[in-house]
């Protein structure tokens, strides 16, 4: 489903070159729920941005659903992003002056769906996250947890095969974080592949597979489910 | 998608009402100033008789002094003498022709309560009316026989007819002008010529005259000279007849020539005529006769004043400054939308999608600015009217073409102004915006 081979990403300024990803190798199969952890500046978000076709990369190969994305133009990348990928962000990124219906409608507009089809998908998505009765509300009228649910509904409305979540519970209290996580697990159970970047080790342990990123490289933590074991692993790897 | 973009544009405009109002005001001011001056220039330079402006020719003969031209570098005088006016009319070499002059006189209404009043008078030949498509409310122009027989006939304007005859059909009735009784043969309908091209030597934007009478009445009634009279030498002798026979120019001459062949033939006739006059000891300068069609004549006489053109260019510079301000404001506005742009990119909008979306928003601001500009242009034109008074009444006014031009100019200007901010907005790196919100 997602295969990165020897992917490199370097950020350059006039004075400094920062190697965000170095020979980054990862394969994510269909239906997986992968948690990506690692210290700040390790390259987690860069990986997620490249995976979501929001950033380009210098070297290596990235195949999404069997398609080499490195040579696609902006239009094709946008189309692929729209059809196959859903995003969930830490700060929800809802458009403040659009109501919930119109926020969820955003990706569907670029998909070119007709009005009736869009309406059906929006209603189904908001139903799934339990906010069907608040379609006409503005984001500012909702709690943080509810806003994140709307963001999830927006990500799911286009029926993507691949959901990328960047610190989806970072701005939520523990109760709301748990409820969002339960929703993600439910979505994953229905077949959507999820890659979630998080700082929260407890959250990470809820995923089916864990990977650890450090200095732009990947370590697998799939066998570790306990926070102490993860910490030990991190210590062992220096 | 267009209606979706329109909806987003309105929401975005509402989201930053002050910023949006500033942009609309900037564009409105620029458009208002530009359209005010463009309208004045447009009306000044409009073709007043488009369907036959290529067939009507103004005649110039170089009867000036051998020592200097009438106007540098080698321009013939812009009017002709009485001698040439009458000779050319008697020769009847054109399809239609009219010499003409302006004068004025007192009209004495018949009603006991009505006071006499001064009226502008145009002296012309019978061809004047069909040549210049004068519109008649009642009756017609006079005949060629009336010209030859020096009959006391007149055509009066609609306003004069209302003032003297209460607006009734006055054809056949008598009107007393300059102390003589004239028979009304025709009443003109409203006749607004902008510019009044048939005589631009006095006031190109004056109204058409109140009374039209046969040209020879000038001699018959010894009517005073109207307009500009220029002489390169003094009349030989005293009195009215001596003046008529002088080298002073005070008369205009128009001919209607239907094709190039007729024009060539008429020019040959003019050259032959001048050569004959040279043999009689007149026309000391080399052959320098001119036939200028309506628009050429407007150009030669500089009907569009230089200061009006300068004002127009200054106002365009002002529009440019307003647009530069708009660019700055748009940059600020679109920078404020960076996170939304990043989000839209993330969920599948291409750069082209965003470019179109933001251009639609810019165009909406432009149209709003254009509508405001139209209002300001209207106020500007009213201001010109109040500053310069009655004589610009015909000159200032927004017609449909100018209104459509204002909106189009605002649209194009705002889209051009929006190009750079829009391009910048589309190239915002989505990843940085999504993380930093």
* CA distance linking residue B435 with residue A45, whole number of Å: 9
Mean pLDDT of chain B: 89
pLDDT score at A238: 39
Which residues in chain B have Cβ-Cβ distances shorter than 8 Å to A154? Answer: 347
Residue A196 within any structural domain of the chain: yes
Query: Are the Cβ atoms of A54 and B434 closer than 8 angstroms?
Result: yes
More confident residue, B298 or B271: B271
**CATH code, A66:** 3.40.50.300
Residue B214 backbone dihedrals phi, psi, to 5 degrees: -60, 145
Q: Which among B20, B348, B430 is the top mutation candidate for probing chain A, defined by the most A β-carbons within 10 Å of its own β-carbon?
A: B348
Angle subtended by helix axes A74-84 and B351-388, to nearest 10: 110
pLDDT at position A214: 87
Q: Could you tell me if A123 lies within 8 Å of chain B, comparing CB atoms? A: no
A52 in contact with B, Cβ within 8 Å: yes
For chain A, percent helix, then strand, then coil, each to nearest 5? Answer: 40, 25, 35
Identify the pLDDT of residue A59.
Answer: 84
User: What pLDDT shows up at residue B437?
Assistant: 47
DSSP output for B33-84? HHHHHHHHHHHHHS-SSTTTTTTEEEEE---S-TTS-SBTTTBPPSSB-HHH
Q: Does B261 touch chain A (CB under 8 A)?
A: no
Q: Is residue A185 part of a domain?
A: yes
Give yes or no for residue B188 having a pLDDT over 70: yes
Sequence ranges of the domains in chain B: 2-47+305-436, 62-288
> Can you tell me the distance from the alpha carbon of A195 to that of B297, in angstroms, rounded to the nearest whole number?
79
**pLDDT band at B277; cut points 50, 70, 90:** very high
Q: Which B residues in the span 313-352 are in contact with A, Cβ-Cβ below 8 Å?
A: 339-340, 342-352
Higher per-residue confidence, B40 vs A193? A193
**Are B434 and A166 a contacting pair at CB < 8 A?**
yes
Residue B55, CA atoms < 13 Å, CB-side half-sphere: 17
Q: What gap in Å lies between CA A148 and CA A144, rounded to an integer?
A: 6
Which pLDDT score, from 0 to 100, does residue B249 have? 95
Residue with the bigger pLDDT between A156 and B142: it is B142
Q: Are A141 and A110 in contact (CB under 8 A)?
A: no
Per residue in B404-419, pLDDT tens?
888 888 888 888 888 8
- Among the residue ranges A99-113, B284-298, B304-318, B367-381, the one predicted with the least confidence is B304-318
- Cis, bond preceding B73 (omega within 30 deg of 0): yes
Among B144-158, B277-291, B359-373, B399-413, the range scoring the smallest mean pLDDT is: B399-413
Q: Which residues of B361-379 are buried (b: 16+ CB within 10 A; e: fewer)?
A: bbbbbbbbbbbbbbebbbe
pTM beyond 0.80, yes or no: no
**CA–CA min distance A71, chain B (Å):** 16
For an interface test with B, the pick among A93, A98, A107, A152 (most B C-beta atoms closer than 10 Å) comes out as A93
User: Any CB–CB contact under 8 A between B141 and chain A?
Assistant: no
Q: d(Cα B84, Cα B274) in Å, to the nearest integer? A: 10
Rounded-to-integer distance, Cα B139 and Cα B146, Å: 15
Check if B71 contacts A (Cβ < 8 Å): no
On whether any CB of chain A is under 8 Å from the CB of B431, the answer is yes
Distances (CA, A) of B374 to A190, B318, B368, B412: 59, 16, 10, 15
User: Which pLDDT score is estimated for B40?
Assistant: 77
Cβ–Cβ contact B2 with A under 8 A: no
Residue A231 DSSP label: H
Between residues A232 and B140, the one the model is more confident about: B140
pLDDT of residue A236: 44
A14 domain-assigned: yes
Query: B394 falls in which pLDDT band (50, 70, 90)?
Result: low
Q: Are B185 and B139 in contact (CB under 8 A)?
A: yes
Separation CA A80–CA A72 (nearest Å): 10
Its domain, for residue A188, covers: 2-91+160-236
- Number of Cβ atoms within 10 Å of the Cβ of A68: 11
Q: Tell me the nearest-neighbour CA distance from B350 into chain A, angstroms.
A: 5
Question: Is-contact B364 B6, C-beta < 8 A?
Answer: yes
A101-110, A137-146, B38-47, B137-146: segment of lowest average pLDDT? B38-47
Residue A106 lies in a domain: no
Predicted pLDDT at B435:
66
pLDDT at A70 (0 to 100): 83
Q: For residues A177 and A183, what is the distance between their CA atoms, to the nearest angstrom? A: 10
> A107 vs B340: CB contact, 8 Å cut-off?
no
Question: Does some domain include residue A177?
Answer: yes
Closest residue of A to B357, CA-based? A110
Q: What residues of A are in contact with residue B349 (Cβ under 8 Å)?
A: 78, 82, 110
Distance CA B172, CA B186 (A): 8
| CA nearest to B431 within chain A | A54
Cβ proximity of B110 and B282 under 8 Å: no
What would you report as the CA-atom Rg of chain B, rounded to the nearest whole angstrom? 30
List of chain B residues whose C-beta atoms are within 8 Å of the C-beta of residue A89: 434-435, 437
Mean pLDDT of B335-358: 88
Q: What is the mean pLDDT of residues A127-134?
A: 86
Among A residues 148-207, those touching chain B with beta carbons less than 8 Å apart: 154, 158, 166
Question: Is residue A27 one of the residues assigned to a domain?
Answer: yes
Q: Which residues of chain B make contact with A107, given a CB cutoff of 8 A?
A: 347-348
Chain B contact present for A93, CB below 8 A: yes
Tell me the shortest Cα–Cα distance from A95 to chain B, in angstroms.
Answer: 6
**With contacts defined as CB-CB under 8 Å, which chain A residues touch B5?**
none
Q: Is A53 left (phi over 0), alpha (psi -120 to 50) or beta?
A: left
pLDDT band at A58 (very low <50, low <70, confident <90, very high): confident
Average pLDDT over residues B73-96: 95
Flag if B340 and A90 touch (Cβ within 8 Å). Answer: no
Contact at CB, B348 and A52, closer than 8 angstroms: no
Give the residue with greater pLDDT, A104 vs A130. A104
Q: Number of residue pairs across A and B with CB atoms under 8 Å?
A: 70
pLDDT at B257 over 70: yes
| pLDDT at residue A39, as a whole number | 86
Residue A209 within any structural domain of the chain:
yes
Q: What is the pLDDT of residue A199?
A: 82
The count of domains in chain A is: 1
Percentage with pLDDT > 90 across chain B: 51
Residue A18, pLDDT above cutoff 90: no
When pLDDT is averaged across residues A50-75 and rounded to a whole number, the result is: 87
In a domain, A97, yes or no: no
């Amino acid at each position: 489903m997602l295969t990165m081979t020897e992917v490199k990403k370097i950020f350059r300024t006039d004075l400094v070159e920062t190697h965000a990803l170095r020979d980054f190798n990862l394969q994510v199969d269909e239906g997986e729920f992968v948690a990506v952890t690692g210290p700040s500046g390790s390259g987690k978000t860069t990986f997620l941005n490249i995976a979501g076709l929001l950033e380009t990369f210098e070297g290596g190969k990235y195949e999404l659903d069997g398609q080499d994305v490195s040579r696609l133009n902006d239009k094709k990348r946008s189309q692929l992003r729209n059809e196959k990928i859903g995003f969930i962000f830490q700060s929800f990124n809802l458009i403040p002056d659009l109501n919930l219906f119109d926020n969820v409608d955003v990706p569907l507009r670029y998909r070119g769906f007709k009005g009736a089809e869009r309406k059906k998908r929006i209603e189904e998505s908001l139903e799934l996250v339990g906010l069907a009765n608040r379609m006409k509300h503005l984001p500012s009228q909702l709690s943080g947890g509810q806003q994140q649910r709307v963001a999830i509904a927006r990500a799911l409305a286009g029926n993507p095969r691949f959901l990328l979540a960047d610190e989806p519970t970072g701005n939520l209290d523990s109760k709301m974080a748990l409820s969002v996580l339960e929703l993600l697990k439910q979505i994953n159970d229905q077949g959507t592949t999820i890659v979630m970047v998080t700082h929260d080790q407890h959250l990470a342990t809820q995923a089916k597979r864990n990977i650890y990123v450090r200095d732009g490289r990947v370590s697998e933590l799939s066998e570790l489910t306990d926070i102490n074991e993860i910490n030990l692993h991190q210590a062992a790897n220096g | 998608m267009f209606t979706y973009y329109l909806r987003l544009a309105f929401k975005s405009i509402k989201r930053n009402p002050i910023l949006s109002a500033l942009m609309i005001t900037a564009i409105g001011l620029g458009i208002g100033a530009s359209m005010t001056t463009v309208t004045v220039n447009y009306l000044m330079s409009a073709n007043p008789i488009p369907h036959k402006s290529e067939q009507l020719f103004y005649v110039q003969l170089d009867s000036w002094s051998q020592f200097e031209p009438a106007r540098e570098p080698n321009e013939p005088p812009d009017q002709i003498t009485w001698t040439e006016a009458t000779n050319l009319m008697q020769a009847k070499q054109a399809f239609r022709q009219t010499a003409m002059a302006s004068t004025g006189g007192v009209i004495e209404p018949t009603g006991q309560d009505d006071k006499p009043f001064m009226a502008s008078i145009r002296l012309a030949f019978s061809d004047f009316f069909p040549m210049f498509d004068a519109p008649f409310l009642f009756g017609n122009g006079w005949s060629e026989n009336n010209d030859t027989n020096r009959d006391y006939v007149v055509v009066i304007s609609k306003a004069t007819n209302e003032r003297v005859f209460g607006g009734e059909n006055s054809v056949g009735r008598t009107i007393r002008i300059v102390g003589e009784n004239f028979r009304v043969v025709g009443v003109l309908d409203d006749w607004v010529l902008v510019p009044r091209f048939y005589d631009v030597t006095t006031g190109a934007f004056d109204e058409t005259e109140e009374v039209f009478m046969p040209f020879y009445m000038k001699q018959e009634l010894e009517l005073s000279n109207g307009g500009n009279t220029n002489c390169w030498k003094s009349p030989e002798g005293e009195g009215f007849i001596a003046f008529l026979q002088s080298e002073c120019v005070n008369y205009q001459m128009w001919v209607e020539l239907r094709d190039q062949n007729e024009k060539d033939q008429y020019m040959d006739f003019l050259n032959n005529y001048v050569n004959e006059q040279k043999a009689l000891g007149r026309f000391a300068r080399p052959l320098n006769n001119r036939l200028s069609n309506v628009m050429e004549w407007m150009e030669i006489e500089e009907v569009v004043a230089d200061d009006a053109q300068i004002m127009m260019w200054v106002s365009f510079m002002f529009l440019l400054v307003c647009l530069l301000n708009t660019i700055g404001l748009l940059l600020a506005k679109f920078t404020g939308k960076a996170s939304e742009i990043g989000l839209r990119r993330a969920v599948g909008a291409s750069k082209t999608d965003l470019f179109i979306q933001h251009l639609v928003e810019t165009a909406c601001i432009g149209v709003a600015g254009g509508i405001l500009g139209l209002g300001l242009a209207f106020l500007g034109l009213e201001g010109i009217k109040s500053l310069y008074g009655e004589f610009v009444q015909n000159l200032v006014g927004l017609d449909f073409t100018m209104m459509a031009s204002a909106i189009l100019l605002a649209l194009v200007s705002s889209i051009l102004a929006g190009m750079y901010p829009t391009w910048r907005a589309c190239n915002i790196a989505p990843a940085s915006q999504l993380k930093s919100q």
